[in-house]
């Protein structure tokens, strides 16, 4: 149960962080991709969360395995 909830939280939080940062970059237009604005760094930091905390695909695999009752004993 804890494993499933942790994976769900990691996947959701990293997805929302990337979505929000991506919107911020879009609002800034082309300037959002340069070092002059913090949103460029925010997007990079959010995107690395999806990789550093375990890729989104791995988190989804863990969630699916736990939901199907195939968790490791």
The gap between the terminal CA atoms of the chain, to the nearest Å, is 12
Residue scoring higher pLDDT (13 or 36):
13
Domain that holds residue 57: 1-70
Is 53 an annotated catalytic residue?
yes
Residue scoring higher pLDDT (73 or 60):
60
The predicted structure's pLDDT at residue 35: 75
Which among 17, 25, 24, 23 is positioned nearest to 48, based on CA atoms?
Answer: 17
* CA 36 distance to own-chain centroid: 24
pTM, entire model: 0.74
pLDDT (mean) for 31-56: 82
Active-site residue (options: 23, 40, 53, 66): 53
Number of separate domains in the chain: 1
CATH classification of the domain holding 13: 1.20.140.10
Q: How far apart are alpha carbons 41 and 33 in whole angstroms?
A: 9
CB burial of residue 37 (10 Å; 0-12, 13-18, 19+): middle
């Amino acid at each position: 149960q804890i494993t499933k909830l942790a994976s769900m939280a990691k996947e959701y939080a990293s997805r929302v962080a990337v979505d929000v940062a991506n919107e911020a970059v879009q609002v800034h237009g082309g300037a959002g991709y340069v070092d002059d604005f913090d949103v460029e760094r925010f997007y990079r930091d959010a995107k690395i969360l999806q990789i550093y905390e375990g890729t989104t695909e791995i988190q989804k695999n863990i969630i699916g395995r736990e939901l199907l009752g195939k968790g490791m004993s």
